[in-house]
Amino acid sequence: MILRQLFDHESSTFTYLVADEATNRAALIDPVAAQVDRDLKLISELGLTLVMVLDTHVHADHVTGAGELRSRTGAKTAASALGAPCVDVKLNAGDVIAIGGLELKVLATPGHTDDSLSFLLEGHVFTGDALLVRGTGRTDFQNGDARTLFDSITRVLFGLPAETVVLPGHDYKGFSSTTIAEEQAHNPRIAGKSAEEFVSLMQSLALAPPKKLDTAVPANRACGQALPTV
């Protein structure tokens, strides 16, 4: 498997390129609109064919590159059935997506948003904004819910094998990956905490709204491209 972690400095977003070396078929997870040229150039240089663009959820802090990638390459877009109505493939928990010979399994991990998914692929889990390295996504908008996020992390993600590599949707401190075992032991919001303690902690954060909330969410429900005028 080819796996590349890419970063957008403006929004601190990780995008992942994954590909099956046997067939050269590739997918992008959580692409950023401003980085589409970079990402397509890399895909071309590696001799890959982009067949699928997956978003872990409707983002509030950057605009997805999904729609532009679809229009420029013919790749299908995919996200939760609860999220962006624009996508070609509406994903549900338990779905398995083929990327050439690779099998990507869809996990429902709501709580940061109600449509948040994680993707399990060959011992790696792409957790979007549910589980970050030594952190979690926030839960105070887009139908976020701290109790739900606690359950997603502790029941769904922490149910994966301990050595599973966690690849998050964002990082702000210079980390690039972690493992399930590490977060079980050392995530300061979750390790040793009850659901009630986590809910109380998340309620106490009093974060400012994301700068792009009002524009990014409607844009992303349209796969990052303008909705047709009706």
Interface residues toward its own copies, by CB under 8 A: 4-9, 15, 35, 38, 42, 45-46, 173-177, 182, 185-186
CA distances from 33 to 5, 15, 68, 136, 210 (A): 16, 11, 7, 24, 17
Cβ atoms of 114 and 93 closer than 8 Å: no
Q: List for the chain the helix, strand, coil content (%; round to 5).
A: 25, 30, 45
Q: Which is nearer to its own copies, 59 or 76 (CB)?
A: 59
Amino acid present at 22: A
In the complex, what is the shortest distance from the CB of residue 6 to its own copies, in angstroms, rounded to a whole number?
Answer: 5
Q: Which is nearer to its own copies, 6 or 84 (CB)?
A: 6
In the complex, what is the shortest distance from the CB of residue 128 to its own copies, in angstroms, rounded to a whole number?
Answer: 18
Q: Which is nearer to its own copies, 97 or 153 (CB)?
A: 153
Q: Which is nearer to its own copies, 35 or 56 (CB)?
A: 35
Cα distance between residue 45 and residue 220, in whole Å: 28
In the complex, what is the shortest distance from the CB of residue 39 to its own copies, in angstroms, rounded to a whole number?
Answer: 9
In the complex, what is the shortest distance from the CB of residue 7 to its own copies, in angstroms, rounded to a whole number?
Answer: 4
Helix (H) or strand (E) holding 67: helix 66-73
